[in-house]
Amino acid sequence: MKERLLEEIQKGSKGAVMKKHIITYLIYNENSTITDLAKDMDLSIPTVTKIIDEMHEQGYIDEYGKLETNGGRHPILYGLNTDSGYFVGVDVTWNSINIGIINFKGEVLKLQMGIPFERRDTLECIDELCNHIEHFIAGLTIDEKKILHINVTLCGRVNPELGYSHSFFNFGERPLAEILTERLKIETSIDNDSRTMLYGENIKGVVKGVKNVLFINIGWGLGMGIMIDGKLYKGKSGFSGEIGHTYGYDNQIICHCGKKGCVETEVSCSALYRKFIEHLQAGETSIILSEKDIEEITLDDIFSAINREDLLAIELVEQIGQQLGFHIGSLINTFNPDMVIIGGEMSRAGDFLLQPVISAIRKYTLSLMSRDSEIVLSKLKDQACVIGSCLLSRSKLFEA
């Protein structure tokens, strides 16, 4: 199946393009009748029927019963064959790896979260990453030959078209995607984490029926995914959405990018952690101090304290939420989106973050635009990136 599927793609013939179009349509719509497909593709029903019959025979597509109608013949619904191929997604964070796999229809079969991993800019670290991916694949019960594609997601500046990561794992002339493909012996692509999270929310998460969406990824840093008219916006080199590295504050704090005053120096999980420790060192109190010394406190401890209504932790999250709302207000005035999704690790704070964000947006955004934009938390939460990576793995292979 794998060889036939990939051979169809590589041919680039008119028939292969039409098949990719049908697969793409079913990725976003799950099931469809031949009539609806014919309308979408602007082709005759006999032509689409012939293509569907061929794809059904090849194993791409299955029948999913009949569409219920008020009268007359009930047309057959067609959808993707769940077992005709599988797609692996990998989410590489600064201290762990998350790996998942979906079937051809996009159903999540397995997720392995929080695999310990120290990200270093070395070839040895890439080899360690590949070992984790291979170990995950070896533990699956499916035929490994049916894994059609792998997508690896990284933070920072990633060029998905050329396969280069410019923030991490940048080793000169050879693209990272090429190195991974050679090492894993399965076609592998790479992409940016914020864009990937947005794609996951678009297919499996909170996005329903809207096409212009911003995803605010507030983790250790601050990034953004952009969807315009239903399509992910990448920019010329794939670097769009780096809002964390726009100038925002005269605070003389050096960002990890090397510049001073970047927005993420005040609006991020790293900023929350820094401020929390500074307040404790200045003599303020927290429920965590009854459990740990200051130097032992982790970011997880702070979020645990928020959930236990620790006043200092909540106060700092609300301050960051107000500042985040100010910056999102500028984005709403610029993009006029249908929806703004707040995700990433900071979204673990829930309404303690969301409410001050919404309050600041109302204060700093043009009223007509503010009413246009729904502000919500990520539905997929900490799984948004790995699920999005699995789904991107599929779309990169098939989207027309």
pLDDT means over runs of 10, the chain (400 residues): 61 81 91 94 94 90 86 85 94 95 96 95 94 98 94 96 92 90 97 98 96 97 97 96 96 93 97 98 97 96 97 98 98 97 97 98 93 97 98 87
Q: Where are the domains of the chain?
A: 2-81, 85-199+384-398, 209-378
Element (H, E) at 279: helix 269-281
Could you say which DSSP state residue 75 is in? P
Are 62 and 78 within 8 A, CB to CB? yes
- The continuous run of DSSP H or E covering 86 comes out as strand 86-92
CA pair distance 18, 41, nearest whole angstrom: 8
Pairing assessment for the beta strands 374-377 and 339-343 based on DSSP bridges: parallel
Whole-number pLDDT of residue 72 = 66
DSSP, collapsed to helix, strand or coil, labels residue 147 as strand
Question: Which pLDDT does position 198 carry in this prediction?
Answer: 98
Q: Give the DSSP letter of residue 239.
A: -
| CATH superfamily for domain 85-199+384-398 | ATPase, nucleotide binding domain (3.30.420.40)
The type of residue at 40 is D
pLDDT score recorded for residue 323: 98
pLDDT given at position 4:
63
Whole-number Å distance between alpha carbons of 303 and 290: 16
Contacts of 227 (CB under 8 A, 6+ apart): 198, 202, 207, 211, 212, 213, 214, 215, 233
Establish whether domains 2-81 and 209-378 are of one fold: no
CATH number corresponding to 2-81: 1.10.10.10
What pLDDT is attached to residue 61? 93
Among residues 81, 71, 65, the alpha carbon closest in space to that of 33 is found at 65
Q: What pLDDT sits at residue 67?
A: 85
Angle at 258 between CA 252 and CA 259, to 5 degrees: 45
Q: Are 176 and 159 in contact (CB under 8 A)?
A: no
Beta carbons within 8 Å of 30's beta carbon, 6+ residues apart: 79, 105
3-state secondary structure of 307: helix
Which CATH class, in words, describes the domain spanning 209-378? Answer: alpha beta
pTM, entire model? 0.94
| One-letter identity of residue 62 | D
Q: Which two tokens stand for residue 362?
A: 């109302």
The pLDDT assigned to 134 comes to 98
